[in-house]
Chains A and B, each alone.
Chain A
């Protein structure tokens, strides 16, 4: 029987401006075949780039994606560029190693 768990997985988390999370979920699904990613919202205090930013809270989306280690680099770059994290006030992305993760797959339409 195929194992229900993966042991070589990474969790990619990304803090994004409000509204950007759902767009990325759709893009990951359409372009990278990733069926499971999560978005929740929060408030964020970002790195102070000018006096105006000091103490300013903004609404944020937090995107979490669990991927196999061999795809982590590809997905990390995809989110970084498609989420425009390479631009000012774009957000922040990080990756952690997971000890174990369950598989998530959608049932086929015939089932």
Chain B
């Protein structure tokens, strides 16, 4: 394979989850158990429910962690649900999460993985040819 080739990944989605600071690690662990390969976290400052809760708002952390996880469309529902439950996002003030469909993505893919996919595709093509 030429070094100037990009192996484009399609049928993938980005899960973004915004939670109070300190909660991200639990959610990421759940996502990994559900099949996610990696995650990126950055800090942010948020507002919303804290202001509406009045005096009880002090219980909601202003500093947020934003989790980004890219998964295949096959996995996205499962990972999303596991993250939702792990972060207790059904509790008011805990955070929000959403899915963004991606046009395409790319990263380094080891040659042996690409070779394996190519071999599988070839096998599949041969099988289809036989059936015809």
Residues of chain A touching chain B, judged by Cβ–Cβ distance below 8 Å, are 10, 15, 40-49, 60, 62, 76-77, 80-81, 85-97
Provide the B8-40 mask, 1 if CB < 8 A to any CB of A, else 0: 000010100000000000001000100001111
Q: Using Cβ atoms and an 8 Å threshold, which residues of chain A touch B14?
A: 94, 96
Q: Report yes or no: A95 in contact with B3, Cβ–Cβ below 8 A.
A: no
Q: How far is the CB of B66 from chain A (nearest CB, A)?
A: 8
Give A96 to B68 CA distance when docked, in angstroms. Answer: 14
With contacts A85-B107, A93-B107 known, what are 8 further pairs, Cβ within 8 A?
A: A42-B41, A49-B110, A86-B108, A90-B108, A92-B38, A92-B70, A96-B100, A97-B103
Q: Which of B19-78 contact A (CB under 8 A)?
A: 28, 32, 37-43, 66, 68, 70
Q: Report yes or no: A93 in contact with B108, Cβ–Cβ below 8 A.
A: no
Q: Report yes or no: A95 in contact with B103, Cβ–Cβ below 8 A.
A: yes
Jot down 12 A-B pairs with beta carbons below 8 A, ordered by A: A45-B28, A45-B39, A46-B38, A62-B68, A77-B6, A80-B6, A81-B4, A88-B108, A94-B103, A94-B104, A96-B14, A96-B102
Q: How far is the CB of A77 from chain B (nearest CB, A)?
A: 6
Q: How far is the CB of B31 from chain A (nearest CB, A)?
A: 10
Q: Report yes or no: A85 in contact with B41, Cβ–Cβ below 8 A.
A: no
Q: Using Cβ atoms and an 8 Å threshold, which residues of chain A touch B3?
A: 86
Q: Report yes or no: A48 in contact with B37, Cβ–Cβ below 8 A.
A: yes
Tell me the total A-B contact number using a CB cutoff of 8 A.
79
Residues of chain B touching chain A, judged by Cβ–Cβ distance below 8 Å, are 3-4, 6, 12, 14, 28, 32, 37-43, 66, 68, 70, 100-108, 110
Q: Using Cβ atoms and an 8 Å threshold, which residues of chain B touch A90?
A: 107-108
Report which of B6, B28, B103, B108 forms a contact with A96, defined as CB distance below 8 A. B103
Q: Using Cβ atoms and an 8 Å threshold, which residues of chain A touch B39?
A: 44-45
Q: Report yes or no: A10 in contact with B105, Cβ–Cβ below 8 A.
A: no
Q: Report yes or no: B40 in contact with A43, Cβ–Cβ below 8 A.
A: yes
**Residue of A whose beta carbon sits closest to that of B6:** A80
Give A41 to B39 CA distance when docked, in angstroms. Answer: 13
**Residue of A whose beta carbon sits closest to that of B36:** A45
